[in-house]
Amino acid sequence: MALSPAQVRLIDEQAHAARTMWNCLHDWWTMLPKGKRTLAAADAAIRQARKEIDWLAVLPAQAAQAVLKTYFQAWKNCWDGRADEPNFKARFRTVMSVDIPQGRDLAISRVHRRWGMVNIPKVGRVRFRWTKSLPVGKRADTENRITGARLVKDALGWHIAFRATTLEPASMPHPGPQVGIDAGITVPLALSDSEKYDHDEWKSGKDKPNAWLTDTEQAKLLRLEQRAAHRKSFRKRGERTSNRLRADYDQIQQLRARAKRRHQDWQHQTTTEIAAKYSVIVVEDLAITNMTKSAKGTIAEPGKNVAQKSGLNRSISQEAWGRAVTMLAYKTAQRGGSLHKVPAPGTSRRCSACGFTTPGSRQSQAVFVCKNPDCGWSGNADHNAARNILHLYRMGHALVPAAGRAVVRRPRGAKPATAR
């Protein structure tokens, strides 16, 4: 959104009021007995707080009701086992956001091809960048309409995301082939048909700390991090962060947010191309949280190669494999395809030609040479893993989610795939 300084200040106040409303509601909930925790009592408490505390009134009444509904939904998700308990929202560790639950208050209009106008309650008319087609004007009806919006702030400023309900035609079955995908670091996405998708155009130097920034931006980021570390060394424990140090942190966050946007844009373009080409996409069921755990260990049993493991964890987190799988899941469903997951153990060490796992076959990150005397197949290690992933799906080893866990669906009497 293109906001003036006064509008930025107004939306910031609304976001802080919404965060404080959540914290007050959380304290009210945890202090009351279980018998008095009702939606009607919480609604009355919110109304009373808006009357007694002036700066809470900057938040529109509909946005305050949205905070209440979100909080109750968070407890429902906790009781159903889908999430942890709601907790306190800290000032500097919480994403600032404001919800606009009613679409009729927005009054969206298009100025020209790139920009539009929207009405923000208690802020006024605001320009926003028009990036997707919206059901407004003649396109809007009972089945295709805007139902609300959400304002979210990151290091680059305030953004608006519209909620829309649309009626889409049923997708026809996808006529494309099947493919297995192996996610990696050197090659982000390697396919079983020897195709690969990487971002070499951003990697101007080897072992670049952040592959999504230009050389000039990399130099600026390094300079800012060194200056911030130097200024932080003079700050005493418990002392407030200086304005200069906070300005350095803000510039660092802006550069990292820009890199994240570029990576997300590359993932969107890549996953759209893959979903349009293939009917069945098979990926590994990776436990990314376990893969990125630290190797420090304990004082009694310290870990080994801690620095190397931390670098690997950082590289895995930057590739965002889970986000790519999420994009592939809904994009394949929209085009009539499907996405399946198979067990991950052994896919990178098993030979895709003979099916045997022989020690020493995986010679490097990119080379695979089968040590089986009867085989001797050699090729790219990532493509070999992708072929194994596709083979597991064809043998009936796809994972089916059931009751919050993954279950192996295997034909009766079939054994795990080894030799072809």
pLDDT digits (tens, 9 = 90+) for 198-232: 886 655 444 555 678 888 999 999 999 999 999 99
The span from the CA of 72 to the CA of 85, in Å, is: 11
Residues 293 and 328 in one domain: yes
What pLDDT was estimated at residue 100? 93
Q: Are 332 and 281 in contact, with CB atoms under 8 Å apart?
A: yes
Residues 120 and 192 in one domain: no
Which of 126, 152, 167 terminates a domain? The answer is 167
Residue 287 lies in a domain: yes
Total of domains in the chain? 2
Of residues 344, 321, 327, the one with CA closest to residue 393 = 344
The span from the CA of 215 to the CA of 220, in Å, is: 9
> Once rounded to an integer, what is the mean pLDDT over residues 63-69?
92
The span from the CA of 168 to the CA of 334, in Å, is: 9
- State the angle between helix axes of 39-52 and 5-31 in degrees (0 to 180), rounded to the nearest 10: 130
Burial label for 304, CB within 10 Å (0-12, 13-18, 19+), is exposed
Residue 121 lies in a domain: yes
- State the angle between helix axes of 61-79 and 39-52 in degrees (0 to 180), rounded to the nearest 10: 140
Mean per-residue pLDDT over the chain, rounded: 85
Q: For strands 280-285 and 157-165, give the pairing.
A: unpaired
Residues 89 and 65 in one domain: yes
The span from the CA of 2 to the CA of 4, in Å, is: 7
What pLDDT was estimated at residue 405? 42
| pLDDT tens string 151-163 | 999 999 999 999 9
> Once rounded to an integer, what is the mean pLDDT over residues 55-60?
90
Residue 212 lies in a domain: no
Residues 156 and 190 in one domain: no
What pLDDT was estimated at residue 208? 56
Residue 230 lies in a domain: no
> Once rounded to an integer, what is the mean pLDDT over residues 50-68?
90
> Once rounded to an integer, what is the mean pLDDT over residues 184-197?
87
Residues 188 and 120 in one domain: no
Contacts of 59-65 spanning 24+ positions with Cβ under 8 A: 59/14, 59/17, 59/18, 59/21, 59/98, 60/14, 60/100, 60/121, 60/122, 62/100, 62/101, 62/102, 62/105, 62/121, 63/14, 63/18, 63/98, 63/99, 63/100, 63/101, 63/121, 64/18, 64/21, 65/101
Residues 192 and 128 in one domain: no
Residue 213 lies in a domain: no
Which of 148, 167, 186 terminates a domain? The answer is 167
Residue 240 lies in a domain: no
Residues 179 and 42 in one domain: no
Domain with 386 in it: 171-199+258-420
Residues 109 and 33 in one domain: yes
SS3 for the chain, per residue? Answer: CECCHHHHHHHHHHHHHHHHHHHHHHHHHHHCCHHHCCHHHHHHHHHHHHHHCHHHHHCCHHHHHHHHHHHHHHHHHHHCCCCCCCCCCCCCCCCCEEEECCHHHCCCEECCCCEEEEEECCCEEEEEECCCCCCCHHHCCCCCEEEEEEEEEECCEEEEEEEEECCCCCCCCCCCCEEEEEECCCCCEEECCCCEECCHHHCCCCCCCCCCCCHHHHHHHHHHHHHHHHHHCCCCCCCCCCHHHHHHHHHHHHHHHHHHHHHHHHHHHHHHHHHHHCCEEEEEECCHHHHCCCCCECCCCECCCHHHHHHHHHHHHHHCHHHHHHHHHHHHHHCCCEEEEEECCCCCCECCCCCCECCCCECCCCEEECCCCCCCCEEEHHHHHHHHHHHHHHCCCCEEEECCEEEECCCCCCCCCCCC
Residue 291's pLDDT band (cuts 50, 70, 90): confident
| pLDDT tens string 317-332 | 888 888 999 999 999 9
Q: Does residue 320 come out as left (phi exceeding 0), alpha (psi in the -120 to 50 range) or beta?
A: left
Burial label for 80, CB within 10 Å (0-12, 13-18, 19+), is exposed
Residues 147 and 182 in one domain: no
Residues 134 and 191 in one domain: no
| pLDDT tens string 332-372 | 998 999 999 998 888 888 888 888 888 888 777 778 888 88
Is 70 exceeded by the pLDDT of residue 137? yes
Of residues 390, 388, 410, the one with CA closest to residue 399 = 410
Residue 206 lies in a domain: no
| pLDDT tens string 3-30 | 999 999 999 999 999 999 999 999 988 8
What's the pTM value of the predicted model, to 2 decimals?
A: 0.81
Residues 319 and 193 in one domain: yes
Q: Are 99 and 109 in contact, with CB atoms under 8 Å apart?
A: no
What pLDDT was estimated at residue 19? 94
Residue 16 lies in a domain: yes
Residues 163 and 176 in one domain: no
Residue 406's pLDDT band (cuts 50, 70, 90): very low
| pLDDT tens string 274-284 | 999 999 999 99
